Structure 1
Amino acid sequence: MPQWYDISMVAHPLSHPFFCLSLSLYASLSSLSAMPPAAGAVALHSSLCSTPSEKPYSPLRSNHLLVAPKPKSLLQNHPLYPPTHAKLSLEFKEKILCLEVMGIDAGKAISQNPDLRTATMESIQSIITFLFSNGILEKDLPRIFGMCPKILTADIKTDLSPVFDFILNELKVPEHSFRRVVNKCPRLLASSVKDQLRPALVYLRRLGFKDLGALAYQDSVLLVSNVEHTLIPKLRFLETLGLSKDEIRSMVLRCPALLTFSIENNFQPKYEYLAGEMGRKLEELKEFPQYFAFSLENRIKPRHMEVVQSGITLPLSVMLKSNDEEFRELVKQGGG
């Protein structure tokens, strides 16, 4: 069997409120132009967000695209965009306002994805249409786009469609559960199937992850983790502690979150404290790999110090897994 850490193991919905945004936007701007800036901004957001739809888009709803006129004066006079921003194009201003109305931090999104500066409203609308057709709801958009603004400028045919095909055909997720998977890990939609998702899935399955449902619904973040630069280095570090490949494999399968922890900020300081200050043996770590999931400063150190001061002995798992009340009772009883 090859070494388990070897990289060679890897082989236009019209009826939806958003698409009527231009009409609502300019109507609202017209009526709000005389309001004080703060009141106008609040009223605008309320008028555009008062009737959100939670139903997925159906291609049967409409067959044509509603295009609204763009009165320049209304947008230019809106309190959210004072004269100091006059150099911004009207389309760019509209784009910013639409993102904000959807609940997305436009400044952060553009900073993380500069391509948004040149993306058209039509292209953004087409992406949202596509997501709705795959079961995503309007209320999901702030989280999805907030975490991955790159999705807003993705290519539907070459970027997004392959991901949904991957979720359906390789993770075996039924279409009615697409939303659950995407909401769990929006980064899936910003990942290449060929270069990222499929290699990660192949590697994880060879490592011993057989439950596709668990990978899809619980541990999907592992699929967007780079095999060579993220997963393998963590496994190699655990090996340097004196753990065998089989022992590490068993630990990872019992606690998949191990593959998401930082070597520098988690593994190393926590192991040093375990072996040094606590004087614990490696055997306890094999039996309780979840140790790395607890906060060193807020959980591990305080409880270890209290155990030492009380002169009692507790198994690592009991010391950390018990809630505060249970822990106090254990200390009071001298460890039970």
Structure 2
Amino acid sequence: MAAAAAAVTAFHSYSPQEQQLQQQQAHSQQSTDTPQLSKKPKTLLHKHPLYTPVHSKLSLQFKEKILCLEVMGVDSGKALALNPSIHSTTLDSIHKIITFLQSKGILQQDLPRIIGMCPKILTSNINNELIPVFNFLSHDLNIPDHNFRKVINKCPRLLVSSVKDQLKPALFYLKRLGFKDLGALAYQDCVLLVSNVENTLMPKLDYLISLGFSKPEAVEMVLRCPGLFTFSLENNFKPKFDYFAREMKRDMSELKDFPQYFAFSLEKRIKPRHLECLENGVDISLPLLLKTTDEEFAELLNQHNNSRNM
């Protein structure tokens, strides 16, 4: 078994003498106001270097959960802040979830990132929440078992998304728009599956239509550049379109043909290159303006300047 699961198992493995000692300490704690846990109980835990800094008044069980998370490489403070329910869950429950994830191909080295991003996983119900997600990946997206790890690592939020209320409605909406490549949805654009249809996906499409594109044109744009569904309206779409329309004064057909425009940084790529073109009197297509490397872009400017001086 992987190190993380083994660590959790080890924390449960007390000898009869150790169990008796813990019972005596618990009985003693009930009869005095002084917490007995300040006297380090002689378990496997007390020898671990992370044990000492933990506050002495915390229960042994809670200390073990903190240590379990840290051994896995998870920031216990962040995990507890994002998911307070970890306080009340049992170490045995955490152990079962880790073991289940490993049975699905998730490796110990994957756990810090997966659980760090979605600590809610640690208090999920295996039968009612986690198993349905893997069934969805298998039955609805045709993902083979050996590729579960690839998909989950790409988007850990899948594990904390409701199949009924989130994943299936998103998949239905995307397929209705024309997303036919299930492999691409699973391995590249799976973040779209955890995006709310009414609050996230539809408003992005509606915004493109509000710019003057027809619905078929807007749909074609998101099919060509699925990332459009992930961009912020206020922080991405609006400022970039404003610059496109007011400063660049380019034709809307260019934006329709190259929706990837919205994927480039306004301050680091779009503005500086547009200004350089203005300074050099160069008019190049939107893809060449943004997709070329710095070296290629500089060469384009040099070629234009050389041809103008001939």
The answer, yes or no, to whether TM exceeds 0.5 is: yes
- The structure whose residues are more often helix, as a share, is 2
Q: 1:271 aligns with which of 227, 234, 241?
A: 241
From the superposition, tell whether residues 142 and 83 of structure 1 become closer, same or farther in structure 2 (CA, over 3 Å). closer
Quick one: which of 183, 189, 194 aligns to 2:164? Answer: 194
Aligned in 2, Cα 1:153/1:251: closer, same or farther, shift over 3 Å?
Answer: same
1:246-304 Cα offsets, whole Å, 9 max, x none, are: 00111000000000000000000000000011111211100100000000011101111
* Pair 1:153–1:84, CA change in 2 (3 A): closer
Deviation at 1:83, TM superposition (A): 7.4
Return the TM-score normalized by structure 1. 0.80
1:224-251 C-alpha deviation (Å, 9 max, x unpaired): 0000010011111111100110001110
1: distance between equivalents of 2:183 and 2:294? 33
Does residue 1:140 correspond to 2:110, yes or no?
Answer: yes
**Equivalent residue of 1:145, what SS?**
helix
Q: Give 1:119's match in structure 2, choosing from 77, 89, 101.
A: 89
Instruction: Give the partner amino acid of 1:282.
Output: M
1:67 matched to 2:35? The reply is no
Structure 1 residue ranges, 4+ long, deviating more than 6 angstroms after superposition:
none
Offset, 1:328: 0.2
Contact 2:2 2:107 in 1 (8 A): no
Q: TM-score, normalised by structure 2?
A: 0.86
SS in 2 for 1:277: helix
**Shift in CA distance, 199/276, structure 1 to aligned 2, threshold 3 Å:** same
State percent identity of aligned pairs.
Answer: 61
Unpaired segments ≥5 residues, structure 2: 23-39
CA contact (8 A) 2:3 2:108 kept: no
Which residue matches 1:33?
none
Residue identity matched to 1:68: Y
Match of 1:162 among 132, 135, 138: 132
Q: What's the CA shift for 1:24?
A: 6.1
1:256 equivalenced with 2:226 (yes/no): yes
Structure possessing the higher radius of gyration over alpha carbons: 2
How much does 1:192 deviate?
Answer: 0.2
Using the TM superposition, give the Cα deviation of residue 73 of structure 1 relative to its aligned residue in structure 2, in angstroms. Answer: 2.5
Find the aligned partners of 1:313 and 1:267 in 2 and give their Cα distance: 23
Q: C-alpha separation between the residues in 2 aligned to 1:286 and 1:23?
A: 56
Contact 2:161 2:194 in 1 (8 A): yes
Alignment match, 1:208: 178
Structure 1 residue ranges without an equivalent (≥5) = 1-14, 26-65
Q: Residues 201 and 238 (structure 1 numbering): CA distance in 2 closer, same or farther, change over 3 Å?
A: same
Structure of greater relative contact order (alpha carbons < 8 Å, 6+ residues apart): 1
Matching residue's letter, 1:67:
S
Alignment of 1:1-336 (within 5 A): 15-21=1-7, 67-69=13-15, 72-74=40-42, 75=45, 80-82=50-52, 85-334=55-304
